[in-house]
Structure 1
């Protein structure tokens, strides 16, 4: 019963945060802009969550070594490295913190003139598509495990987030979907045209990415405990 309540709290948390962000944007737009600005609170929280998730993912991979699940282990080490790269990219690899100038060759292809991978012009075309795919995967992949429950050591237990994390990915999917609609389709919604620069702006992606960072942190932490439990079972059996 307790676990079920905790699951529902986790599920509802991002929905509550989304409502809070929308209300803040409507009622106190200057405070909202301050939160989502470059190097603001939201972006710094993303860094901390992605960085922490990266460390935990690597530790989970280390625990998976003891289980003999080599594929699981390798995927978690790769996930950990990927999350650390994402974390460092969020703070431009410390560029502004240490006052590092952007090399001319990087500045020529970086849309924000900074030391980041995700703002490189060749990658920006695919970035929003990647976020939409991640959002869709996290929102709906859990249905596979619900219909076809995985075994304890199944890879699906370690690569598909549980149902209570679907809401975090759904917020990511919703926000990036609205941004894409406002940028390319510009439909009418409740008598108002949905366009970038009015109610919806590109910085709205920051709260959505915070939900992703929070989801990944919870996801890898849960799977760290799962890996630890499997490693202990293996040690006991031996």
Structure 2
């Protein structure tokens, strides 16, 4: 028990310091930790109620539109971040964010079938023959579809593990210049961790694509996209803050030493 209590204390301290570093209010950090679990529990609790469960996870229903909202937010934040990085002449990380921006734009379009179900156009015959859902999407094409879970797993594992590795490393990587742009806040770990856990469960324990288990992926994708959107937002918010000059940095360092 003392070891567990010590671990809890250290974890809480890491979370507090990390949230302060990101300018995240403690209440907001706690909420971001809880929301992915709420999403997971609500979706699981809906399983015995077929109509309600289908309303949650079906195409063009609640969870899918929440996914789109998160992706749309990220697709707005990412190019703005890229512009700030270009202006600061941080070319390497700006190029990385430009690539990620294109990827998220593509994912956002795919999430709503590029507007097909909104505007009601017909799927081209050549695409309809190879698309599992008969829609204007790439991720449902046979052959590509099998790559999507692997990509989701890698993205989720990175988002979950990178902050934990950073916290364990302590001050050894403290001076990493692009740390915030590459490593999400600790309070977003559950959002990525639950998505990664679901993908690992499907890969190692339940590979059979039964309807209920497969559709539960929608809830976990919402958790992942929420984590992505909030990660982008916090970075954009920090980049928009006035950058302190050398004199202010020196004064801040003197203040910290005096404290």
TM bin, normalised by shorter chain, reads: 0.7 to 0.9
TM-score when normalising by structure 1: 0.84
Residues 67 and 234 in structure 1, CA contact (< 8 A), matched pair in contact too: no
Find the counterpart in structure 1 of residue 125 from structure 2.
Answer: 104
Residues 43 and 216 in structure 2, CA contact (< 8 A), matched pair in contact too: no
Find the counterpart in structure 1 of residue 210 from structure 2.
Answer: 196
Residues 66 and 234 in structure 1, CA contact (< 8 A), matched pair in contact too: no
Structure 1's 234 and 118: CA in aligned 2 closer, same or farther, altered over 3 A? farther
Give the Cα separation in 2 of the matches to 1:234 and 1:86.
39
The answer as to 2:166 corresponding to 1:145 is yes
Of 1-10 and 109-118, more deviation after overlay is shown by: 1-10
Give the Cα separation in 2 of the matches to 1:136 and 1:109.
30
Give the Cα separation in 1 of the matches to 2:37 and 2:74.
21
Distance apart, 1:10 and its partner CA: 1.1
Distance apart, 1:182 and its partner CA: 1.8
The answer as to 2:103 corresponding to 1:82 is yes
Matches within 5 A, 1:35-114: 35-114=56-135
The answer as to 2:206 corresponding to 1:182 is yes
TM-score when normalising by structure 2: 0.78
Give the Cα separation in 2 of the matches to 1:216 and 1:143.
16
Distance apart, 1:77 and its partner CA: 2.1
Q: CA offsets per residue over residues 118-155 of structure 1, 9 Å max, x none?
A: 11112112111111112211111112321145557722
Q: CA RMSD in A?
A: 2.4
Query: Structure 1: where are the runs of 5+ without partners?
Result: 185-194
The answer as to 2:21 corresponding to 1:7 is no
Residues 112 and 119 in structure 1, CA contact (< 8 A), matched pair in contact too: yes
Find the counterpart in structure 1 of residue 52 from structure 2.
Answer: 31
Distance apart, 1:213 and its partner CA: 1.2
Q: CA offsets per residue over residues 52-77 of structure 1, 9 Å max, x none?
A: 11111110111122322111222222
Give the Cα separation in 2 of the matches to 1:15 and 1:164.
12
Q: CA offsets per residue over residues 3-53 of structure 1, 9 Å max, x none?
A: 334222211221122112211223x23111111101111111111210111
Q: CA offsets per residue over residues 94-116 of structure 1, 9 Å max, x none?
A: 01111111112212221111111
Give the Cα separation in 2 of the matches to 1:159 and 1:111.
35
Give the Cα separation in 1 of the matches to 2:188 and 2:64.
21
The answer as to 2:189 corresponding to 1:166 is yes
Q: 2:153 aligns with which of 113, 117, 132?
A: 132
Q: CA offsets per residue over residues 152-173 of structure 1, 9 Å max, x none?
A: 7722321221211110111111
